[in-house]
Amino acid sequence: MEKTLSIVKPDGVEKRLVGEVIKRFEDNGLKVIGLKMVAMSKREAEGFYAVHRGKSFFESLTTFMSSGPAVVMVLEGDNAIERVRDLMGATDPQEAAKGTLRRQFGSNIERNVVHGSDGPDTAGFEIGYFFHALEIAR
Ligand code: CDP
Ligand code: MG
């Protein structure tokens, strides 16, 4: 069974979408096996998004991600990485398919409500960034 990391970003928490996002995942066969709220510092947000360091949106993105609490979760299921990406939709809510979380709830390309790992390597890094082994159900 594949694992992936998802985040309800600070805009999603502010919009009271935590339950809605988790329900979408659960209704689509994904299982929550790790879950907590975090308040990332700017440094911690920069570490999480280190792959984007140097890009035009890095400064604004990491300020946004450290602007308030976020809910981080580990999801498990067949093809979990791709399925979460499909349920989220494209990065830009305006380009995301109808019915996806980002299309439905995203404000703009930065404030797009939800994060999902984009591959097995990043999923491994991202799960380890937030969770100790003991915090993941087995
Ligand atoms: O989150 P996703 O994998 O779809 O996109 P990304 O290219 O890995 O970018 C990470 C995050 O940076 C996005 O989810 C947006 O919040 C933000 N971003 C942005 O603010 N402006 C862009 N042009 C691209 C991404
Ligand atoms: Mg990404």
112 close to ligand 1 (CB < 6 Angstrom) = yes
What pTM, to 2 d.p., does this model score?
0.98
Pairing of strands 2-8, 114-116: antiparallel
Respond yes or no: is residue 132 known to be catalytic: no
The gap between the terminal CA atoms of the chain, to the nearest Å, is: 12
Place of tokens 């082994």: 133
94 close to ligand 1 (CB < 6 Angstrom) = no
66 close to ligand 1 (CB < 6 Angstrom) = no
Q: Which ligand is nearest to the CA of 7?
A: 1
Rounded to the nearest angstrom, the distance between the alpha carbon of 88 and the centre of ligand 1 is 12
% of the chain with per-residue pLDDT over 90: 99
Please write the tens of the pLDDT for every residue from 2-50: 999 999 999 999 999 999 999 999 999 999 999 999 999 999 999 999 9
Q: Give the three-class secondary structure for 38.
A: strand
Please write the tens of the pLDDT for every residue from 64-73: 999 999 999 9
Residue-level length of the chain: 138
- Average pLDDT of the chain to the nearest whole number: 98
pLDDT for the residue numbered 119: 98
Q: In testing the pocket of ligand 1, which one of 57, 58, 66 has its CB within 8 Å of the most ligand atoms? A: 57
Cβ–Cβ contacts within 10 Å for residue 77, how many? 18
110 close to ligand 1 (CB < 6 Angstrom) = yes
Strand segments, DSSP code E, in 9-138 are: 31-38, 70-77, 114-116
CATH class of 2-133: alpha beta
pLDDT for the residue numbered 138: 81
**Sequence spans of domains, the chain:** 2-133
